Amino acid sequence: MKEPARPGRVFLSAEWHDLAMLNYEIDPRLLASYIPLGTELDSFNGTTFVSLVGFQFHKTRLFGFLTIPLHSNFDEVNLRFYVRRQEGATLRRGVVFIREIVPRRAIADVARFVYGENYTRHKMRHSITRRGAAIEARYEWQFERHWCHLYASATGIPATPLEGSLEQFITEHSWGYSRKRHGGCLEYQVSHIPWQVWTATSAGFEGDGTALYGAGFGDVLARQPDSAFIANGSAVQVFTGREIS
């Protein structure tokens, strides 16, 4: 079950659409230097995952009402992994972003300032193709004069992930954690209803994973993903953060 939203101010509200989520098993030692203080790696049945995710922001607002011209609808691609933190009797499950790519400088600047996340700006484009019961989501971004892309294709009717499934594990981490420059950690909550998902029949990434994400990640992303799916998305609220130790 998703943890109820804690009291706090909503910093960002939006709709997230057509999330293509490619999941790769990874040696946890590759993630050791990225783990924020006060958290520990989370795993699924003893296996550690990173996810390469492409999706669309729609109707984006700051503080529930403020819109920035030309910045309401845009794409994002991120590489993320999963952590957990004990807060009293509650286990909080969250994500840590290795890198997040967006198409506009103002979006990247605001996210770096408010949450300390590693946002960069690149030209982006996407295509969502639906033919009958089939769907394909493709996200592309330009990096060093070359176009990278990720895609996932599926067919059938989307369904809510089964309790205890990998799809539930990937989609139901409802906290974000980022490392502060002085060594601390920022914790913030992301709230949304459970998504429905299509299990991908094919999926992949093409690009220079080492140049994009650093040593070790290129080899991981060069493989076929160990699982992949498309999530339909929903309205989302991102709360202001607080520093933890």
Question: What's the pLDDT tens digit per position in 166-208?
Answer: 999 999 999 999 987 777 899 999 999 999 999 999 999 999 9
pLDDT of residue 110: 77
Which of 36-45, 51-60, 137-146, 183-192 is the least confident region?
Answer: 183-192
pLDDT, tens digit, 9 for 90 and up, residues 123-157: 999 999 999 999 999 999 999 989 999 999 999 99
- What is the rounded distance in angstroms from the CA atom of residue 55 to the CA atom of residue 139? 8
Average pLDDT of the chain to the nearest whole number:
92
pLDDT of residue 107: 79
pLDDT of residue 66: 67
Q: What is the percentage of the chain residues whose pLDDT exceeds 70?
A: 94
Which distant-in-sequence residues (6+ apart) come within 8 Å of 60 by Cβ?
12, 13, 14, 67, 68, 71, 72, 73, 74
Q: Which domains does the chain have, with CATH numbers?
A: 10-244 (2.40.400.10)
pLDDT of residue 70: 65
Q: Give 245 or 129, the one with higher predicted confidence.
A: 129
pTM: predicted TM-score of the whole model, two decimal places: 0.93
Q: Give 72 or 222, the one with higher predicted confidence.
A: 222
